[in-house]
Structure 1
């Protein structure tokens, strides 16, 4: 029974990856669902704002996460390229979208978590 559940969970993470082009950034569906649940009922009042994860500052880790509205510039993503999902070695989820990351950093999803990284500029053809 446990093996079947593990296999099903693994297939849920691998199947979307195989169908995507690596030119696009991988988005872990579990992270998106978790943030959607966390942001449920949060109303962002400003123009072009969206709800994402923020980490509450605390003295002892792990610090709690809470929903927060972030200002966007009208686009869904900041420019940049993430490493492939198996190279994002994080089990924490500090972000779902790029707007939860500081400055020019972008949110890169892996199979088990996400992280804010300085996005590499794609090579020109």
Structure 2
């Protein structure tokens, strides 16, 4: 249990990463501290409302480096990824984008490498995970 006057991300996140089950500020009401002790004793976690925005921001930014891979794709690779995410085969993608099936295969190989995924299914899951369907038209 961390009891501190620091409510910033530089203190809260490392404390939680180190295994703190509670993070409360010194100005917390005594009744709330007793409640926190009981909750932690029963196996629960208790975080001060003041640090919750920091925790959520940290969680969001932890996934951003992975999403950044998307921005290294060419416009056409993004088009192909969108079609993969919608469940289309290479032949269907070729027809939809007015390119050859061989070109589709090349784009698929390139985007798999750039996204660091093993197959089309993982590429589709990547697109869905990061809600890229609407963004892929850019």
* TM norm. shorter chain > 0.5: no
TM-score bracket for this pair, using the shorter chain length: under 0.3
**Between Structure 1 and Structure 2, which shows a larger proportion of strand residues?**
1
Q: Please give the TM-score of this superposition, normalised by the length of structure 1.
A: 0.25
Q: Please give the TM-score of this superposition, normalised by the length of structure 2.
A: 0.23
Larger Rg: 2
**Between Structure 1 and Structure 2, which shows a larger proportion of helix residues?**
2
